[in-house]
Structure 1
Amino acid sequence: MVELLNQHAKQTIKALWKELITYLKSIPYSQEQLSVFLSVLNQ
């Protein structure tokens, strides 16, 4: 049961990441700024 919830949470987080990245890409940032931002988040 807990395993199932963990899996679901991971999928939800992945989906949210996709949404966030898609959203960020739609903003007229330079690619460099975006890369820096994402690398900070991934640490």
Structure 2
Amino acid sequence: MKKLLHRLKRWWAKRQFRQQKPVVAERRDYLKAAIKQGRRDD
């Protein structure tokens, strides 16, 4: 239950952040995707 609560909190914070700074959030998502793809190539 604690884990679920933590995940919910993180999701909520992310959502709030996304609404406040959509450009920054998008850039962060893009970077994350790029890192993931880089790892996949290895």
Q: TM-score, normalised by structure 2?
A: 0.52
Q: Which runs of 5+ in 1 are unaligned?
A: 27-43
Return the offset for 1:3. 6.9
Give aligned-pair identity as a percent.
4
Higher fraction of helix: 2
Runs of 4+ with deviation above 4 angstroms = none
> Is 1:5–2:21 an aligned residue pair?
yes
**Aligned pairs, how many?**
25
Higher relative contact order (CA 8 A, sep 6+): 1
Taking only aligned residues, the RMSD between alpha carbons, in angstroms, comes to 2.0
Q: TM-score, normalised by structure 1?
A: 0.51
